[in-house]
Amino acid sequence: MKLRESNQADGLRKAADVAAAEIRRQIQEGFLAPGQRLIEAELIGQLPVSRSTLREAFLKLAADGLIELQHQRGACVRRMTRADLAELFQMRECLEGYAAALAAQRIKQHSSRVWLLEARAVWLADDVLDNELTHMENNVPLHDGIVAMAGNKRLQSALKLLELPGYRLQFLRLLDRAQRTVSARQHIDIIDAVLAGKPVQAEKLMRAHVRRAGELAQLIPGLA
């Protein structure tokens, strides 16, 4: 049978990866709500894959922590409890703090000073205070960039698994102007510490920054 010709030029060579990516997208966009059950028979009807392949996709998604698999009870979109969220942000505090420290250590080798200076300018401007979407759109790249500067791929992929799956919109709503102001200030301080090559301070500031985000996340409504 002709293998799907749809995935033109994408890196997803296996059908299971395609299916996993599609389900991931549906989860992140809210089509699949946290706690919702994923019935194999239903998804087979929606995705061009067989049961075996779908089950493989389930395993990959479960490995990424996006869904949960229970024996003889199938798959469901992962539902966060407040305790889970606390643990998650504790991990991020630890890892991103360390990433900031490593980034500060390696700042000389990197020509990414330029990039950091550009980011700094962004967080000094008013856009990130006025517009919550602009704020968010610049927030993720900044954190990712600092993590990338740390130069540890394991660290990078570990942190990728710690992004909140389906609650981003609800988190966004919690960021009022006051919150955005504090956040922007912290970002600038972190950038300065990294640029100055001060690992200890960079780590300390990043930890405080992530901890604050974690406390804010606890206010997300509708958590189990």
Residues of the shown chain interacting with its own copies in the complex, contacts defined by CB under 8 A: 13-14, 52, 55-56, 59-60, 62-63, 71, 87-88, 90-91, 93-95, 98, 102, 152-155, 158
Exactly one of 49, 100, 147, 149 binds DNA (CB under 7 A); that residue is 49
CA angle 2/28/41 to nearest 5° reads: 50
Q: Which residue type is seen at 70? A: Q
Question: How far apart, in whole angstroms, are the C-alpha atoms of residue 102 and residue 147?
Answer: 9
Rama region for 176: left / alpha / beta (φ>0; ψ in -120 to 50; rest): beta
> Considering the rule CB under 7 A, would residue 151 count as an interface residue with DNA?
no
Taking CB under 7 A as the rule, does residue 9 contact DNA? Answer: no
Task: Candidates 45-53, 168-176, 199-207, 213-221: pick the segment binding DNA (CB under 7 A).
Answer: 45-53
- Closest separation between CB of residue 61 and DNA, Å? 13
C-beta of 129 vs 158, nearer to its own copies: 158
Burial class (CB in 10 A: 0-12, 13-18, 19+), 183: buried
The helix/strand count (H/E) of the chain reads as 11, 3
Sign of CA dihedral 25, 29, 30, 34: positive
Task: Specify the residue for token string 């990043």.
Answer: 206
Q: Which residues does residue 74 pair with via DSSP β-bridges, in sequence order?
A: 70
Residue 30: CB minimum distance to its own copies, A: 24
**Binding to DNA in span 55-94, by CB under 7 A:** 55-56, 69-75
Indicate which of its own copies, DNA, none lies near residue 50 (CB less than 5 to 8 Å, by partner kind).
DNA
Q: What are phi and psi of 68, to 5 degrees?
A: -120, 140
User: Which of DNA, its own copies, none has residue 59 at its interface (CB below 5 to 8 Å by kind)?
Assistant: its own copies
16 interacts with DNA by CB under 7 A: yes
To its own copies, the closest distance from the beta carbon of 6 in angstroms equals 17
CA atoms of 99 and 145, how far apart (whole Å): 10
Residues forming contacts to DNA in the complex (CB under 7 A) are 1-3, 13-16, 37-41, 48-53, 55-56, 69-75
